[in-house]
Structure 1
Amino acid sequence: MLQKIDADSKGTIFRKRAVVALDDGLYENYPHYRKYIKEAVTELLGSEISKNVVIEHSKDGSGIGAALLAAANSKYAREF
């Protein structure tokens, strides 16, 4: 998703700090899983870009994500 957002914004996302919120029991309760997620981000994006990606645990991340998606969709629906 970050790569898609970066492409849509003409390369401005990866020059800034990006926070990814996870609402996941594995991420919350198992420190090794956190390490694996960070390693996967580094493998996908490269070490330089992944330094700007911060992964945080978020309670009710699913609900917040759904609200953000609905808000973003309604914004774009009005523009077209």
Structure 2
Amino acid sequence: MKDEGLCNMRNFSVTLTIILPRSKSLTRSANLKEKPLGNWIEILVGEFTMLPENVGDISFKLGEYSSDWKKGLVVKCATIRPKNH
């Protein structure tokens, strides 16, 4: 499904953050402008080493802050998985 609102945007970037236990966080931005519309895509939020201080609740947030209204972004799931070496 093509969404003209997303196609006409000059910059559609999102800020992704992983919040580890003890409030340590990893943040990065991703530009979704070049991603295919109507397809599921994966976006890497960050990487961290599983250390004793990282045991506990891990959460993430996705945000975009601008005066331009956006629509059409659907988040299917978030997965935390080990990195393949």
Category of TM-score, reference length = shorter chain: 0.3 to 0.5
TM-score scaled by length of structure 2: 0.31
Task: Select the structure of larger CA radius of gyration.
Answer: 2
> Counting helix residues as a fraction of each chain, which structure ranks higher?
1
